[in-house]
Structure 1
């Protein structure tokens, strides 16, 4: 085995379905993205994942609205389905405001990423040219 073979990454999974929608940074957009996500996951024959995916997109979109919104800029929701995973990603223009897990306050504020952590198999943040993308992945079982 050559050195190049040792460090090469595995081939990415083929994408079965991709959906991308830009939303205005409003509370209504959170609800719209949640309903769209549930519907698309159901249509792909994954009823057991629809609820979790809807909650995840709702939490990530809410965080983008509260912590990443900039007047006049949109929030993007990407759904990517492969044979192995459903990836939910929400992008916003505030790359300097990175999400972090924290203990919720007495008013239950701050539970979003804890919920995502419980539902998703993994989550993370990726920088973008402008802003960031926060993603969560659910394994297709």
Structure 2
């Protein structure tokens, strides 16, 4: 879980854990976010261990498409591919694991970072830091998010007791 604190030089920082469980500190300037996109959609209530409906699953593609449109329209097409992958993984996790009924996806600029936030309104859940076995069909999404964030000089984390997952990608890297 990410915990903000005053870092070096008075800048806000965030302590989060990587998927492998090792803590790392990410420093960010305290700036106001510039919102690029905010999308909300409802998902159907279902029993545990029942897969999401087809309609709920189609929201993942719709959010990827809206993400690309928002970034291209703001002159940021060079980061759209990575952002689409992150959005796909975070929205899928929210639909499959949250138990919430409403999902909110927000794209914003925070300094030189693109911030992707997915809030599922659920009661939160604990992320498993263990990588999946080779035969597992699921469980690689957050590892992919971490790899993209690392490659783009960013980070990711969870706030609000697990109901909000975020990822920041440095616009200057790449």
Give me the TM-score of the superposition, normalised by structure 1. 0.82
Aligned to 2:142: 113
Name 1:122's counterpart in structure 2. Answer: 155
Question: Per-residue deviation at 1:101?
Answer: 3.2
Aligned residues: 132
Q: Does 1:93 align with 2:111?
A: no
Give me the whole-angstrom Cα distance separating, in 2, the residues matched to 1:40 and 1:122: 21
**Which residues of structure 2 form unaligned runs of 5+?**
1-7, 13-28, 44-55
* TM-score, normalisation: structure 2: 0.67
Q: Deviations over 1:18-58 (max 9, x none)?
A: 32111122111111111111111111111221000011011
Q: 2: CA distance between counterparts of 1:96 and 1:60?
A: 13
**Residue 60 (structure 2) pairs with residue 27 (structure 1):** no
Name the CA distance, whole Å, in 1 between partners of 2:88 and 2:67: 9
Deviation string, structure 1 residues 61-100 (Cα, Å, up to 9, x no partner)? 0001111033xx2111011113410000111122331323
> 4+ runs of 1 displaced by more than 2 Å?
6-18, 93-96, 98-102
